[in-house]
C-alpha cells in the first residue's frame, strides 16, 4: 500500500538507473540509483513532486516520509580493527595515534574511531559523609561547575592592539578536584574529597564494535574525492603495518 504507489510515480524520473523497494511491518523504503552525471538539484525536485502524488493515495495512518541522499564516496573504503588483551586506555591511545597518522595522508579525508570511550572523572557522593558535614548535593555540583572554567580578567591595551585576558581555572589533575573547598565547618575546611569518592574512569557506552566476536576499536577510513581507491587502501595497510 506504500511501495506500489511510490514505484508507480517515481519510475519516470530522469536519469533513473535502478530502483529497489522494501516493504516491512511499519516501514516502506525505496532505493533509487541514478546514472553517472545526474543533475542532483533537478532530480531531487522531481522526486519531491512524484512523492506528493504518491502521498495522495497513501492509506490513513501513514506518517511523514523523508528523502535522503546517500553518497557512497563518503563511506569507509577500509576499516582497521584494533584488538588485543590490553587495557582499554592503551588501545584507545593507540587508536588516536594511528588516527592522527592516517589523517595526515593527503588521500584520506577522515579516519573516524568507533568502539572507543572518552575518559572522565567520576565523582560519587557519599550520602553518610555529606550528612555528617551538613552538606548538600547542590553545593557539590556548584563547586565543581564554578571552578572548572576560564575567568575573564579584563583587557590589556598595547601598541599591537587590545587583548582580552582570561585566567584558566580548569582541572589539571585529580588532586585538584579532591582539594576543592565545599564549605567551612567550624575551623575545618570541608573539601570535595571529604564528601565523595573520585576516580578516573570512562563514559558509559552508547555503542560497541566487534571483530570476530571480540571487542575492538575500529578506525573507519574515508578516502578523499579524486584519489585512487586501490592505492589509498594499499598505503593504509602499509602505514598500519609500520605502526
Query: pLDDT tens, 168-192?
Result: 656 666 677 777 777 777 777 888 7
Residues 6+ apart with CB under 8 A from 202: 88, 117, 118, 119, 120
For residue 10, what pLDDT is reported? Answer: 93
Phi, psi of 43 (to 5 degrees): -65, -45
User: Per the domain annotation, does 83 fall within a domain?
Assistant: yes
Residue ranges, the chain, pLDDT below 50 = none
* CATH code, 96: 3.30.70.1320
Could you tell me the residue range of the domain that residue 22 belongs to? 3-55
For residue 32, what pLDDT is reported? Answer: 93
Instruction: Give yes or no: residues 99 and 218 share one domain.
Output: yes
Percent of the chain with pLDDT over 70: 93
User: Per the domain annotation, does 67 fall within a domain?
Assistant: no
Phi, psi of 74 (to 5 degrees): -95, 5
Instruction: Give yes or no: residues 126 and 195 share one domain.
Output: yes
Q: Residues, the chain, total?
A: 243
User: Per the domain annotation, does 160 fall within a domain?
Assistant: yes
Sign of the CA dihedral 145, 146, 147, 148? positive
Q: Which residues pair with 79 in a beta bridge?
A: 220
User: Per the domain annotation, does 61 fall within a domain?
Assistant: no
Cβ-contact 240, 104 below 8 angstroms: no
Instruction: Give yes or no: residues 130 and 191 share one domain.
Output: yes
Cβ-contact 218, 114 below 8 angstroms: yes
For residue 89, what pLDDT is reported? Answer: 87
Instruction: Give yes or no: residues 196 and 211 share one domain.
Output: no
Amino acid at each position: 500500500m506504500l511501495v506500489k504507489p511510490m514505484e508507480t510515480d517515481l519510475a519516470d524520473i530522469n536519469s533513473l538507473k535502478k530502483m529497489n523497494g522494501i516493504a516491512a511491518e511499519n516501514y516502506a523504503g525505496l532505493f533509487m540509483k541514478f546514472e553517472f552525471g545526474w543533475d542532483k538539484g533537478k532530480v531531487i525536485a522531481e522526486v519531491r513532486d512524484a512523492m506528493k502524488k504518491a502521498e495522495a493515495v497513501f492509506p490513513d495512518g501513514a506518517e511523514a516520509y523523508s528523502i535522503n541522499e546517500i553518497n557512497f564516496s563518503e563511506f569507509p573504503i577500509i576499516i582497521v580493527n584494533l584488538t588485543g588483551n590490553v587495557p582499554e586506555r592503551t588501545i584507545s591511545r593507540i587508536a588516536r595515534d594511528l588516527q592522527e597518522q592516517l589523517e595526515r595522508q593527503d588521500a584520506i579525508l577522515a579516519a573516524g574511531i568507533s568502539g572507543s570511550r572518552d575518559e572522565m572523572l567520576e565523582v560519587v557522593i557519599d550520602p553518610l559523609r555529606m550528612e555528617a558535614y551538613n552538606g548538600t548535593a547542590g553545593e557539590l555540583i556548584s563547586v565543581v561547575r564554578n571552578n572548572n572554567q576560564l575567568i575573564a580578567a579584563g583587557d590589556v591595551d598595547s601598541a599591537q592592539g587590545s587583548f582580552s585576558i582570561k585566567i584558566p581555572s580548569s582541572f589539571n589533575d585529580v588532586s585538584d578536584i579532591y582539594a576543592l573547598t565545599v564549605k567551612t565547618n567550624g575551623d575545618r575546611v570541608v573539601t570535595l574529597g571529604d564528601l565523595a569518592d573520585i576516580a578516573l574512569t570512562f563514559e558509559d557506552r552508547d555503542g560497541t564494535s566487534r571483530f570476530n566476536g571480540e571487542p575492538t576499536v575500529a578506525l573507519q577510513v574515508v578516502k578523499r574525492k579524486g584519489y585512487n581507491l586501490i592505492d589509498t587502501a594499499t598505503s593504509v595497510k602499509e602505514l598500519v603495518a609500520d605502526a
